[in-house]
Amino acid sequence: MYRLPRLPSAVKISCGSVLRRALIGSHRKLHLAPPWLLDDYIPRYHLISSVDASRKRSEAYAHLSKCNLCPRLCGVNRFEKTGVCLIGADVKVDTIAPHFGEEPCFQGHNGSGSVFFSGCNLRCVFCQNHTIAHQRHGFDLTPEKLAEWYMMLQDVGKVHNINLVTPEHVVPQVALSILHARDLGLRLPIIYNTSSFDSLESLKLLDGLVDIYLPDFKVWRDDTSRRLLKADNYAATAMESIKAMHAQVGDLCFTDDGIAKKGVLVRHLVMPGKADEGREIVRWIAENVSKDMMVNIMEQYFPRAHVGKARRGKSAKSEEVVEVVEPGGLRASPQTMAKVRYEDINRPVDLDEVALVRQAAEEAGLWRFVEAAKHGGFNI
Ligand code: SF4
């Protein structure tokens, strides 16, 4: 594989824009990594002092005693009961494994060491993991046991990073696990893979522990978030969270093997009939966070959870079994759609809708996109 030449740090810092233009012109068509290159990388959790580590441990336990970790603000003592997320003081985990469904710069050749947490602080009606997120499937782990799993992923799985999937409701346990894993010898970057329905208190606790933030920005309008995510103020929360994440770690940076080590990558899953909201989201990123933000505009929506299910109660006219549309499958007929819940989003997204969001992103000045490899090979 061709690799970009190593350059002295001073050159990269002082001549970043010149270097970028030069590299875009000469190399980007070859699908090489963008030019935010790092000579080497030390995870942020190795750079915090022992005093700061102790303070973070104390703060983590305090958060669990009166939970304010997300905008639900349940205020419960999670050693005794659970809030909206359904998870107490231990984490519940569905799957821990090397994962090959992430962006190439995260999964690399060996996979992203993913930890899929059970429970969630959102209730998306189209959730594609709803058996994990809305039902309490999985096994309980203390933060110390979780840290031992990170070590297994590193030492046995040889993965490129630790990827914490849907962690918003278990931030204190995650903080404790990272600090414990640091003592055990973890050397991998930590990815915080979030819906963006975080609180600033959570993100403050994570500052110095997380290397890469991987936030979704799902919908723009408040009525959409109330109806489809069952959450108030989702967009306002996501905007505040993404700004705070970017202030901590900046734009996405890579080492010369093409693997991301530090920064923010924003995902937006284009929703059927909601391209206008996607356009607002990408414009906001460009105008308010960074035009150099790396963005993944995703087209793989397919309905799950409550979407496409038969209506309940008085509105249910029959017990007819209704087919949920699968990727590449048939759309429901108008007659069928009238009998199902959330019929307006019970279809795959059109590629035209995806193109509209992409066009708005480019017009706003964004240019670092996650794309499929045009050469048919491995694109990092
Ligand atoms: S993390 Fe869970 S318990 Fe804490 S405020 Fe959010 S939903 Fe409530």
DSSP-assigned states of every residue in 152-201: HHHHTT--S-EEEES-GGGHHHHHHHHHHHHHHT--SPEEEEE-S---HH
Backbone region of residue 138 per phi and psi (left: phi > 0; alpha: psi in -120 to 50; beta: other values) = left
Contacts of residues 48-51 at CB distance under 8 Å and 24 or more positions apart, as own/partner, are 48/208, 48/209
69 Cα: distance to centroid of ligand 1 (angstroms)? 6
74 is in an annotated binding site: no
110 Cα: distance to centroid of ligand 1 (angstroms)? 34
3 Cα: distance to centroid of ligand 1 (angstroms)? 45
Is the pLDDT confidence value at 16 over 50? no
125 Cα: distance to centroid of ligand 1 (angstroms)? 19
Q: In the structure, what pLDDT confidence band is assigned to residue 314 with cuts at 50, 70 and 90? A: low
- Determine the pLDDT at residue 323: 43
For ligand 1, atom 2, the nearest C-alpha belongs to 85
Q: In the structure, what pLDDT confidence band is assigned to residue 346 with cuts at 50, 70 and 90? A: confident
Cα separation, 355 vs 344, in Å, equals 20
73 Cα: distance to centroid of ligand 1 (angstroms)? 6
Q: Provide residues with CB under 6 Å of ligand 1.
A: 67, 69-70, 72-74, 76, 83-85, 121, 169
Is the pLDDT confidence value at 23 over 90? no
50 Cα: distance to centroid of ligand 1 (angstroms)? 28
Of all residues in the chain, the percent with pLDDT exceeding 90 is 65
For ligand 1, atom 4, the nearest C-alpha belongs to 67
Of all residues in the chain, the percent with pLDDT exceeding 70 is 81
Name 311's Cβ contacts closer than 8 Å, sequence gap at least 6: 317, 339, 340, 341
Is the pLDDT confidence value at 37 over 90? no
Mean pLDDT of 277-292: 98
CA of 121, closest atom in ligand 1: 7
Q: In the structure, what pLDDT confidence band is assigned to residue 290 with cuts at 50, 70 and 90? A: very high
Mean pLDDT of 145-161: 98
Q: Looking at mean pLDDT, say which of 31-35, 41-45, 318-322, 368-372 comes out highest.
A: 41-45
Mean predicted lDDT score pLDDT of the chain: 84
Name 316's Cβ contacts closer than 8 Å, sequence gap at least 6: 310, 339
Structural domains of the chain ordered from first start: 44-301+352-369 (3.20.20.70), 309-348 (no CATH)
Is the pLDDT confidence value at 308 over 60? yes
Backbone region of residue 376 per phi and psi (left: phi > 0; alpha: psi in -120 to 50; beta: other values) = left
15 is in an annotated binding site: no
Is the pLDDT confidence value at 28 over 70? no
Is the pLDDT confidence value at 111 over 90? yes
CA of 76, closest atom in ligand 1: 3
For ligand 1, atom 6, the nearest C-alpha belongs to 70
Token couple for 267: 């995902």
120 is in an annotated binding site: yes
284, containing H or E segment: helix 275-288
Is the pLDDT confidence value at 271 over 60? yes
CA of 87, closest atom in ligand 1: 2
Q: In the structure, what pLDDT confidence band is assigned to residue 313 with cuts at 50, 70 and 90? A: low
Ligand 1 mutation target, pool 74, 78, 81, most atoms within 8 A of CB = 74
Q: Which residues pair with 170 in a beta bridge?
A: none
Of 316, 59, 56, the closest CA to residue 179 belongs to: 56
For ligand 1, atom 3, the nearest C-alpha belongs to 83
Is the pLDDT confidence value at 326 over 50? no
